[in-house]
Structure 1
Amino acid sequence: MARGRAPGYDIQRETILSRAAQLFASRGYTGTSMNEVAEACGLSKPALYHYFRDKHALLVDIAEGHVLRLESVVGEVTEKALAPKDHLEQLIRRFVEEYADAQDAHRVLTEDIRFLNDNDRERILERERRVVAAFAGVIRQIRPEIDEARLATPLTMLLFGMINWMFTWLKPDGTLTYESMATIVADLFFGGLPAVRLPDKT
């Protein structure tokens, strides 16, 4: 009979993924060794291999896990059956909030996916395309005429351009929060600069 997993296996595995994402994000995938990941996790290298067979497996789980969470957010918001504008506002807010807690994984996804093998990279990119398509679909509902001009996907990519790189400049201890920026992104996307509401400073 196969031996079951030890208590705390899943928790330790998530810890390894988190620490590896931090290292990959700060040093780069190629600049990080399995020895360094093991040391950051307080594990021996053989113990680390008990959870992940190699560094590539770590990269796959970090990148795909991040996209899976984004797909889950899309599903949760879609299930609410909101009006199109409310639907898109919720997607924007939820994605900004998700990125706030997944900055390392997001950096790994955007910068290190090129190191994946073809099959893993294509599978993860297909998941990303589904996320983009979900946003584009809501934009088409708000402005049906946009579909005729084939602008729904380009507009979606412009929207992601505002969201995706926020972690590179928004300081965690600054006066602006991810929550307030989510509102600003939505305002800016829907109404342009005149529609931006200023955050409450109280």
Structure 2
Amino acid sequence: MAIVVEHEKRKREILAKAMELFCRDGYEDVTFKKIADACGITRTTLYIYFRSKHEVFNFSIKQLTSDLEVNFLKIIKDPAITAEACLRRITSEAIDACVSNKSLFEILVPYLNGLYKAGENVYDRVKRRTIRITHLLSMIIIRGQKNGEFRKFSVKAANDLLFGLIVESIFKMAVLHDIEVSAVKASLNLAIDGLLAKRPEN
């Protein structure tokens, strides 16, 4: 068990160093050897953890989405939190996570553009990485509809709206280098307001 823990710890250390390089030099200029050198290990040792710089970068994305999923599941599984509060909290924390990982998204945009030019299906790649998060959003919306907190509407449309606002904030941050966190959160809360069932007047 200790070996597994040490292996995961080393993996995270490599990812952290690699991300520093990607952010400083850009994805294209980072080599597998540069990553190994920055970590103070040989390329042979680095191959134990990753097969290529492409895999290192992909694992960074996977780690971010996995961490978000774990955090979101904790919120969703708390029976004391209403569907409305859950949705507001998760969308807010998603924006905070985007801001915290701003450098990663700045690299991700040209990286995905490079894949597109190489003939890769970028949409499917992104969808694979985000499908579980969008599924969690759908779970909350369905729960809110079942308990009467949310109106009856297309779950997919609501999911697309909320997720679209999050993606827009990533675009503004990574491409335009500008994001007003409070404004994005206000837009998300306004969208959630529109999902709420009409409450009886006192």
Specify if TM > 0.5: yes
Deviation of 1:17 (Å): 0.7
Aligned to 1:21: 19
- SS at the partner of 1:31? coil
Kept in 1, the 8 Å contact 2:138–2:159? The answer is yes
Aligned to 1:129: 131
1:157 to 163, 186, 193: 163
Q: 1:127, 1:6 → 2: CA distance?
A: 24
- The C-alpha deviation readout for 1:12-66, integer Å capped at 9, x for no partner, is 3211111212333444433321111122223333332233232233133212112
> Where does structure 2 lack aligned partners over 5 or more consecutive residues?
192-202
- Tell me the number of residue pairs that the alignment of Structure 1 and Structure 2 aligns: 178
Name whichever of 130-139 and 35-44 sits farther off.
Answer: 130-139
2:57 equivalent to 1:59: yes
Deviation of 1:90 (Å): 0.8
Identity of aligned residues (%): 17
Residue type matched to 1:160 in 2?
I
Structure 1 pair 66–107 and aligned structure 2 pair: CA distance change class (3 A):
farther
Aligned to 1:85: 84
Deviation of 1:89 (Å): 1.4
Kept in 2, the 8 Å contact 1:66–1:105? The answer is no
Q: 1:73, 1:124 → 2: CA distance?
A: 20
Residue type matched to 2:162 in 1?
T
Kept in 1, the 8 Å contact 2:18–2:56? The answer is yes
Deviation of 1:78 (Å): 0.5
Q: 1:51, 1:154 → 2: CA distance?
A: 36
Q: What do you get for the CA RMSD once the two structures are aligned?
A: 3.8
Q: 1:7, 1:186 → 2: CA distance?
A: 37
Structure 1 pair 191–39 and aligned structure 2 pair: CA distance change class (3 A):
same
Residue type matched to 1:146 in 2?
F
Deviation of 1:188 (Å): 2.6
Q: TM-score, normalised by structure 2?
A: 0.66
Deviation of 1:131 (Å): 1.0
